[in-house]
């Protein structure tokens, strides 16, 4: 009997396992069905998004047609203008939407070439490709003729062998292979097109560091890298304690600051090159930060921000020069005694640059020292005085001078802009104390009372 009882217990155990397995199978099946439904929704929404993006490009093209006609009319009345329709439309859209001008420009280039890119635009309207891929095609095929573009687009838009969407890496591989295959003119023209996009770009990163990117032709880049590496290894071999990466970096920055490249850089207490203070950099350190009473971020005009600790370190380095910038504590606006003259004096220029801080065009962050000083009311009707002078980046100077956009000074040192579509923007002088002072009490809204009769003290959300 014990044997039989044991057998029955074992059988019951097997049955329980089978029941649990069946239940688990049901759960897995339900989750699989739910996952499949969610994935179908994602795919459908991506297709819907693509169709919406096709409509977005159509709107880009329509605005370009309208403003191009407006600019052509102005050109006929005034003569040649300084700004293209592409640039004006790009600025208009960027200001209205908050999308970066680079992205707007890429979209506009695609939107204004519907015949050249008819295949990829048709795929976008059908929801079969994305705006991201359409922009990739437009960018990679820029040097090609229209006939070659058609061949490339036909190649990259083909579905995968299993009729599933093409993976992004496969898409990029297809695109580059197709471009290389149809480029009968060889690499010379493509290289010239790429070389035209060379440049140097910089940005500030975290922890008080920065990043420089130099884009140039391959031969020059290789030569610079080889020269830096040879110089770094020479210093390293002679006992320099810095790593090769640190040496290459220090030698490159030394060459940029002093205009030479060689193996004479010596380490300093901070491990950098001896010429690290050779560059001219403006750093705005509020009085409270300098004294340690505030830890607000400090501005490198035109570049970005430093932490208060790093700013205090920079301002106390040997060779640092301190200059005062009087600021109205109520408005944060720079103040100085204006000077009248037929031509702007140095004092007037510095005063206007201090007040504006950056370009007074809408949405523009170009630092004032890199802008034109524009008479808002043209001279000689408008006097050469600080109240009639505004810093404007060359683009905003030109759109105002050409009459494409209108600007006028308004109360409170504001500059009121009106674009071709009638949109208006008002810019103000720079607030040099921004981030230091709390907002005025009038700007602090009181907490709203809960609707009467709906909640008690115990069930005010979150519940």
| pTM of the complete model | 0.66
For residue 458, the model assigns a pLDDT of 40
- Mapped onto helix, strand or coil, the DSSP state of residue 377 is coil
The mean per-residue pLDDT over the stretch 105-125 comes to: 96
For residue 188, the model assigns a pLDDT of 60
Alpha-carbon torsion 13, 19, 24, 28, what sign?
positive
Range scoring the smallest mean pLDDT among 117-126, 151-160, 216-225, 451-460: 451-460
CA angle at 398 for the pair 392 and 402, rounded to the nearest 5°: 135
What are φ and ψ of residue 281, in 5° steps? -130, 130
What the block records as the tokens of 273 is 């090159």
Model confidence at 63, pLDDT cuts 50, 70, 90, reads very high
The mean per-residue pLDDT over the stretch 40-68 comes to: 96
**Which phi-psi region, left, alpha or beta, contains residue 186 (left: φ > 0; alpha: ψ -120 to 50)?**
left
Write the CB contacts of 53 (distance below 8 Å, at least 6 apart in sequence).
124, 130, 131
Range scoring the smallest mean pLDDT among 22-26, 53-57, 359-363, 394-398: 22-26
Model confidence at 105, pLDDT cuts 50, 70, 90, reads very high
The mean per-residue pLDDT over the stretch 122-129 comes to: 95
| Mean pLDDT rounded to a whole number for the chain | 78
Q: Indicate whether 64 pLDDT > 90.
A: yes
Q: Indicate whether 3 pLDDT > 50.
A: no
Asked if the bond preceding 380 is cis, omega within 30° of 0, the reply is: yes
> Residue 310: enclosing H or E segment and its boundaries?
helix 308-315
Nearest 10 degrees: Cα torsion 187, 190, 195, 197: -160
- The CA-to-CA distance between both ends of the chain, in Å, stands at 60
Alpha-carbon torsion 253, 256, 258, 262, what sign?
positive
- Mapped onto helix, strand or coil, the DSSP state of residue 123 is helix
For residue 440, the model assigns a pLDDT of 57
């Amino acid at each position: 009997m014990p044997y039989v009882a044991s057998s029955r217990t074992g059988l019951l155990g097997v049955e329980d396992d089978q029941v649990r397995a069946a239940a688990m199978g049901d759960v897995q099946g339900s989750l699989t069905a739910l996952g499949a439904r969610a994935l179908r929704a994602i795919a459908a929404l991506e297709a819907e998004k693509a169709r919406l993006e096709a409509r977005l490009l159509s709107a880009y093209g329509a605005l370009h047609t309208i403003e191009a006609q407006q600019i052509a009319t102005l050109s006929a009345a005034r003569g040649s203008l300084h700004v293209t329709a592409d640039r004006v439309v790009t600025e208009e859209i960027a200001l209205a939407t908050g999308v970066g001008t680079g992205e707007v420009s890429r979209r506009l280039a695609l939107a204004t070439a519907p015949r050249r890119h008819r295949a990829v635009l048709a795929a976008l309207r059908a929801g079969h490709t994305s705006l991201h891929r359409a922009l990739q095609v437009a960018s990679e095929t820029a040097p090609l003729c229209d006939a070659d573009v058609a061949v490339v687009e036909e190649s990259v838009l083909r579905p995968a062998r299993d009729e599933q969407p093409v993976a992004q890496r496969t898409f990029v591989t297809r695109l580059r292979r197709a471009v290389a295959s149809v480029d009968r003119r060889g690499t010379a023209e493509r290289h010239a097109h790429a070389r035209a996009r060379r440049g140097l770009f910089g940005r500030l990163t975290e922890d008080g560091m920065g990043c420089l990117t130099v884009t140039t032709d391959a031969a020059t880049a290789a030569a610079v890298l080889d020269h830096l590496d040879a110089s770094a290894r020479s210093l390293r071999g002679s006992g320099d304690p810095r790593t090769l990466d640190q040496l290459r970096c220090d030698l490159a920055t030394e060459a940029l600051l002093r205009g030479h490249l060689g193996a004479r850089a010596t380490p300093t207490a901070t491990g950098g090159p001896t010429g690290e203070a050779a560059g001219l950099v403006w750093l705005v350190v509020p009085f409270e930060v300098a004294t340690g009473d505030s830890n607000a971020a400090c501005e490198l005009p035109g570049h970005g921000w430093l932490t208060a600790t790093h700013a205090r370190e920079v301002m106390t380095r040997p060779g640092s020069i301190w200059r005062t910038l009087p600021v109205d504590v109520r408005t944060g606006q720079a103040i100085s005694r204006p000077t009248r003259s037929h031509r702007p004096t140095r004092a007037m220029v510095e005063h206007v640059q201090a007040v504006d801080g950056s370009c007074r065009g809408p949405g523009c962050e170009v630092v004032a020292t890199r802008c034109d000083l524009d008479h808002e009311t043209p001279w000689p009707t408008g006097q050469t005085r600080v109240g009639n002078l505004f810093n404007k980046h060359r683009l905003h100077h030109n759109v105002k001078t050409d009459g494409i956009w209108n600007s006028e000074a308004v109360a409170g040192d504001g500059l009121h802009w009106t674009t071709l579509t009638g949109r208006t923007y008002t810019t103000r002088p720079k607030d040099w104390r921004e981030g230091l002072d709390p907002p005025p009490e009038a700007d602090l809204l009181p907490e709203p009372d809960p609707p009467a009769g709906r909640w008690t003290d115990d069930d005010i959300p979150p519940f």
